[in-house]
Structures are given as structure tokens and as C-alpha cells.
Amino acid sequence: MTDQGQASAAQVTEQQEAPGNLPKKTMKPLSKLPKPQFSQNALVVLRKRYLKKNEKSEPIETPEELLWRVSSALAKGDIPYEGEESVQETALKFYRLMTSLDFIPNSPTLMNAGRRLGQLSACFVLPVRDSIDSIFEAIKHAAMIHKSGGGTGFSFSRIRPESDKVLSTQGVASGPVSFMTVFDTATETIKQGGTRRGANMGILRVDHPDIEKFISCKTDNSRLTNFNISVAITDEFMKALREDRDYELKNPRTKECVGRLKARKVFDQIVDSAWSNGEPGIIFIDSINRSNPTPHAGEMESTNPCGEQPLLPYESCNLGSINLAHMVRDGKLDRDHLRQVIRDAVHFLDNVIEVNNYPLQLIEELTRANRKIGLGVMGFADLLIALGIPYDSQEAVDMAENLMAFIQQESKAASADLGSRRGNFPNYPGSVYDTPETPHMRNATTTTIAPTGTISILAGCSSGIEPLFAISFVRKVLDNEELLEVHPLFQEVARERGFYSDELMKRIAEKGSIQSFREIPEDVRRVFVVSHDVKPQWHIRIQAAFQKHTDNAVSKTINFPFEATEEDVEEAYVTAYELGCKGLTIYRDGSRDVQVLNIQRKPRYPQVEPRPRPDETRGVTERINTGCGKLYVTINTDEYGFCEVFAQMGKAGGCAYSQIEATSRLISLALRSGVKVEAVIRQLMGIRCPSPVWKNGEQVVSCSDAIAKVLNHHAKTNVAYAADQMGACPDCGAAVEHEGGCIVCRSCGFSRCS
């Protein structure tokens, strides 16, 4: 596969080689093929993150060329089975599948198909065994995967615990958590060439002697920033929890019991940590292995970074999602159309396995041995709205279960059909499919519910199986201009029912939710719910309904309001286990903005005295234009960081002067009391007055906004840290969504891990 420059879509003719290098005789002008109806937001994301670029980072292909590049590259997977004569027809089928926005594959496939790199998989799991050689081999292999655009999952459960014996040196072991830091540093160095950031999943079994240290290893959010972490919960642990008794800790080196812990104590630690900052997540490892389709080929130890794809060591998986928003016709689910999309998507993903350029020989061997694919969905919230079904209702749960049962059934039928023509996956003998009733199966798994942050932006639909994030929101575009975005179905209903107004949409954008707007009819408010309108139990029930008919796992974030208690989180974990989920990720709104000083079952937020103003500070003064005149902002720091802000405009004694002085004093008080500067910036940024002005292509909308901009200019916060702590996108400043252990910006397409 080559990485040649591309001609414009209108210039691709039968005499020229189109993206993807199909044989010349099969070329047709792209200008005569259907064009994708990408939104303006999707086009921004495509230009920034997906289209091929030259050395000046300028796009050198169009969206149509991207889709043709991918389609024609994937169509070559037919050649060993159907011959070259099928390639043109398959390329056109794949092109129409994506151009319709009915189906979008995972990001590495869009980025790399038909290019020199050619690495198309998103998910990998690497083994980490109990030796220095194995540990650093895993780091090396992870670096190669991250460089190629993939994410990696690791189980550190085989590494001997801290202070255990090291026989070769007569020393003591440093334990799995210390080695995770080495993995994290290596990931930070790679950064995947700027297109995808390195992402890892770190897992430790609950019966590992170092489990308590692992649970608390991300209490400081500036540590292990390239890791999501999850505890592998066993059935035995859950039984001990129910019976309120101890359970055994086992040394992985000797396999012997080396101690016992109270299950309740450990569970409380997991709950408290997740309540305070969203981590660790949990996976139910025994449940995962009960669903292992090839137990004779190995045991599942870990998942990919967002938790939805359990894999054997050295396996990879290729994912793609169906846009459910397009599966409604005349107010009903169009099963005929959905069936055809499923069958075409299974063909597409199986061809990914054929043409993929794998980063390691071992990964290629294991991937081809099991041929796992993961077909999932996005736009579920849009589907429910189109059908008039509230997300938090039994009707929605029933729809989720019936819908996924249909997708499972049809994807298995498509895989069986491929198996009859192309051959079964090599590990089929001895697998769960090896029965007279299923003589053919091409893929060991066919379904996964993955997070779809950026690809759902391309498809113009809601993310995965999540509720809507907001009914209306403000998106920043060029030159910091703000554009009001309203969910199209809500806008349509609002106009039909006569309550639409630009002013109302702006007010909704300030909250995201419409539940407090009594001028909106109750039946409309009932259907158009957003994530924080949905109680956690309904989130879990929807996840469990999808899990019933999903081979792999389901990525979903269970959102809690800020005032939720640890008991609420505990109930969610227990319910998820009882309902058959394979794991759970929770996020309590705003939890990462607050530094909890004492994590306990009933936390208290102690009142604090600000530290004294130091005798000597270092500072800088910046002049910034506002609608009220020139504002001079001085920011001072001491040995602990920012400690005070002074702002001055005009003569003392005026009303504006007194308001600016009050704002500055309160900022200084907050900074010396330990409030993070990012939290201060977030509170001040965007406060408006009647007289906004422009400065260097950026709008200054008030004096408070000006002070925030100066603070932000000098803060120089770390990108990933700022994204996690502020709830704001580090690229464009818009609000981010928490999805499946990841953060995603729907405004510009930024994603921490996908």
C-alpha cells in the first residue's frame, strides 16, 4: 500500500489510479458517485484528524477521496476468495455503505487504509509476565502499537507483589504499580504522531496482594495520565462481599495464599475512589471468561482502553458502528434496511482482517486465528427520540434488547455465510460454535458496543448507546466565533409545536437539559432527556439489555450528579453484576474539579484558611482591551504557583473599578486557598457584558472574561491534565463528554483515547 498524493475527486478517471490503487480498468470517476452529506462540524473533524496532509499539515484529499481510499483498500480483501473481478463491486458497496453514513469503521481504519502505514485496528491486548524481559518487551510492543494508532490493554496481575523475593538478585520486587509508571512514561513519549494519543488500560485482579495500592494509584489525577485502570472482580470476591467475609490474596509467582482481606473493606475503597475521580472502573473477569468463544486458545486477562473489548494476549479487534438514527422509516425500525447494513458491515470488517498491516507477527497470527470483529451501534438516543420513546423507560430497555438480539442474529448469519464461502476461523474446532447446528462461522465474535466519540460526529448522530449530552449547545468555530447547535429532531418538534425561538435555544444551551423549561410541553420534555436527566439505574439497565446479545462487552459511562453518594455508586456496581454486565465505568459530575482532602465513606469538605501572602512574589502585567477600556492585569506567583491577581482600569472610586477590584481579591483568595487556577478560569471564562470587543482574532466579552484569558495565557496547563480536570476540551475549550472511560469533544473531535 502506498501513500501517494491524491488528485481531486472530479479528476479521478479510468486512466488515473484512484486512492486505494484498484486496477486501472476498474476505475470510475468519483464525481459520478454519491457524495457523503457531512455536517460542517464533521468536515472540521475530518480536516483536522482524518484527511491525508502534506508536510505543511494541509489536507491533500477530499472527504470523498478518503472514503474511496478506504473502500478500495478494503475491497482487496475479496481477492483470495472471489478473485479480482469482485473488487470493483465490493469497493462500490463499501463506499456507499460509508457515504450514506449508515456505518463508520473505527478511526485507525479511516486514517490508515490505503496508506503506507496500513494499521487498521483500534484494540490490542499485550501480555505482561513476571520477568524484566517480558515487562520491557511489552513496553516495546506497546510503543510500536501506539505509533501505529492503536490502544493497548494490559493485565499486571502476573507480576509478583511489592517486596516479594527476586531470586536472581536476592533483592525485593517493586510491584506492578511501579512498572505501570514506566509504561505510562513510554506512552507519553510516543503520543502517536499527533493524530491519536496513546491510551492504555491497566488491570489488576482483586485477589492480587497489591490490590489496595492499585486502587489508589490514580487518586492524584496527574499520575498515570495515559492509563485507564480497572479492577478485575471475581465471582469469589462478590460472594465474599455478599457474605461479609474475608477472601484470599494470592501471590502470582507461587500461586499460594499470602493473606486475607475483608471484601467489604476493599469494595469500599474501590467505591470511594471511583466516587472521587471516576477510577478505577471494574470488570467482572469471570463473567468475561464465561463468554470466551475459544477457551481452548487461552484465557481473557484484559480489555482494550475503554473496556468494551476483552481479548486474549496478542489479539486485536476491528470495530465499526451502525448509525441507528438512519434505521427509522415511517416511525418504525426498518429491519430490512438494518439487515442489509449488518451484512455489508460484517463483510467490511472481515476484509479489514485480510488487508490489515499488523504491528507484530504474533498479533497477526492470533488475530487471524480467531478473526474477531466488533460490530456495534451509535445513535441509539436518536433512534429512541425518532420513535417517541423516553430513554429512561422500560420501553427503551425492551427496544435495546430486541434491537441487539436482531443485530446479533443477523451478524452471526452473515459470518456463517462468509465461513461457508471463505472458511471458518482457524480456532473454530473446539470453540463454542463447533456444533452440528453451526457448521460454519467466519468470526469468533461479531458484536461489540464501543464508544463512538469522533465517528458519531462524522455520522451526525448521538454517541454509542449514551443519552444525548445536550439538547442545545454552543460550538466554537473559526476566530473563536460561537455557533448555536440544536438537536435537529428537537428543532423540528419545537417548530411544529410552535414554541421555537432563538432566545429559548440559547437559554437551553446554558443548561443542556430542557427539564426546567415549563414552556416546553411535558410530553416533549419526557422524550428529550439528556444524560444527567437519567437516573443511574436506567443507564445500567440499558447497558445490561445490550450486553445480553453482545459477544464482547458494552462501553458505557454511568453518569452521576455531583451530589451522588458512595452508596449510590455501590448500588450501581452490585446491580451491574447482578444484571450480567461485564464491567462498569462511572463518572460523578464535577468530581475531578474538587480535591477531596479526606476520602472516607462520609466525606467532609473542611473550611480552609488561605495561605499568607508572601513577602516576595514574581509577576507579569498584561494589557488587554475590553469593551469598557484598557484593562491592566497583573498575575503574581510564589513558590506554590499562582497566588494573586490585580486588575486595574481607569480612576479609583468608580463602579467598574470597584467590581474589578472585588473580582481580583476573590480570585487571589481562591488561589491562596488551594483552588486550582483551571477552576477559576472556567468560572470566569465567557461571562458576558453588553460591550464585547475583539483582540487578536479572539472575542473578549467582559472584564471577567479578560482576566480569565490572561490567566489562561499564563497557566500553560498540560493538555491531557486540563481536559480531565476542567471538563473542557484542550483544543477548542468546549465541554467534553465522558464516554466509556474516555473524554470526547463533540465540537472539534478531540478524544483522549480514540
pLDDT digits (tens, 9 = 90+) for 463-518: 999 999 899 887 765 555 677 889 999 999 999 999 999 999 999 988 889 999 99
Q: Residue 595: is its pLDDT beyond 50? A: no
- The residue ranges of every structural domain in the chain are 9-119+317-453, 123-303, 618-716
Average pLDDT value for residue range 262-276: 96
Dist CA 207 CA 238 (whole Å): 12
Average pLDDT value for residue range 542-548: 98
Q: What DSSP assignment string belongs to 703-746?
A: HHHHHHHHHHHHH---HHHHHHHHSB-TTT--B-EEETTEEE-T
Q: What is the pLDDT of residue 533?
A: 93
pLDDT digits (tens, 9 = 90+) for 406-432: 999 999 999 999 999 999 999 999 999
Percent of the chain beyond pLDDT 70? 87
Which pLDDT band holds residue 157 (cuts at 50, 70, 90)? very high
**Cell 445480553 maps to which residue?**
548
Q: What DSSP assignment string belongs to 416-445?
A: HHHHHHH---TT-TTSTT-BTTB---S-S-
Indicate if 402 belongs to the active site: no
Query: Is 248 in contact with 260 (CB distance < 8 Å)?
Result: yes
What CATH class is the domain 123-303? Answer: alpha beta
Which has more confidence, 695 or 92?
92
pLDDT digits (tens, 9 = 90+) for 289-312: 999 999 999 999 999 999 999 999
Q: What is the pLDDT of residue 494?
A: 97
Dist CA 313 CA 155 (whole Å): 9
Average pLDDT value for residue range 247-268: 97
Average pLDDT value for residue range 599-608: 45
Catalytic residue among 304, 427, 443, 552: 304
Grid coordinates of 77: 480483501
pLDDT digits (tens, 9 = 90+) for 442-465: 999 999 999 998 999 999 999 999
Query: Is 462 in contact with 475 (CB distance < 8 Å)?
Result: no
Which has more confidence, 686 or 322?
322
Q: What is the pLDDT of residue 652?
A: 54
Residues 6+ away with beta carbon under 8 Å from 427: 294, 296, 297, 369, 370, 444
> Global pTM?
0.80
CATH number of 9-119+317-453: 3.20.70.20
Average pLDDT value for residue range 41-62: 92
Q: Does residue 619 sit in helix, strand or coil? A: strand
Which pLDDT band holds residue 750 (cuts at 50, 70, 90)? confident
Q: What is the pLDDT of residue 501?
A: 94
pLDDT digits (tens, 9 = 90+) for 344-379: 999 999 999 999 999 999 999 999 999 999 999 999
Q: What is the pLDDT of residue 198?
A: 66
Catalytic residue among 64, 65, 301, 308: 308
Most confident of 234-238, 511-515, 607-611, 750-754: 234-238
**Cell 449488518 maps to which residue?**
342
Average pLDDT value for residue range 659-679: 86
Dist CA 681 CA 710 (whole Å): 9
Which has more confidence, 117 or 476?
117
Which pLDDT band holds residue 593 (cuts at 50, 70, 90)? low
Q: What is the pLDDT of residue 736?
A: 76
Catalytic residue among 61, 106, 292, 306: 306
103-105 and 583-588 beta bridge pairing: unpaired
**Cell 487461552 maps to which residue?**
298
Q: Residue 253: is its pLDDT beyond 90? A: yes
Indicate if 581 belongs to the active site: no
Q: What is the pLDDT of residue 302?
A: 97
Query: Is 160 in contact with 186 (CB distance < 8 Å)?
Result: no
Indicate if 236 belongs to the active site: no
Q: Can you list the pairs that 79-87 forms with residues at least 24 positions away whose Cβ atoms lie under 8 Å?
A: 80/354, 81/421, 81/422, 84/23, 87/22, 87/23, 87/26
Q: Hey, do 9-119+317-453 and 123-303 end up sharing a CATH topology, with the first three levels equal? A: yes
Dist CA 66 CA 59 (whole Å): 11
Least confident of 208-217, 565-574, 645-654, 728-737: 728-737
Least confident of 15-19, 380-384, 713-717: 15-19
Average pLDDT, rounded, for the chain: 87
291: closest CA among 601, 516, 581, 501? 581
Q: Residue 596: is its pLDDT beyond 70? A: no
Q: Does residue 72 sit in helix, strand or coil? A: helix
Which pLDDT band holds residue 87 (cuts at 50, 70, 90)? very high
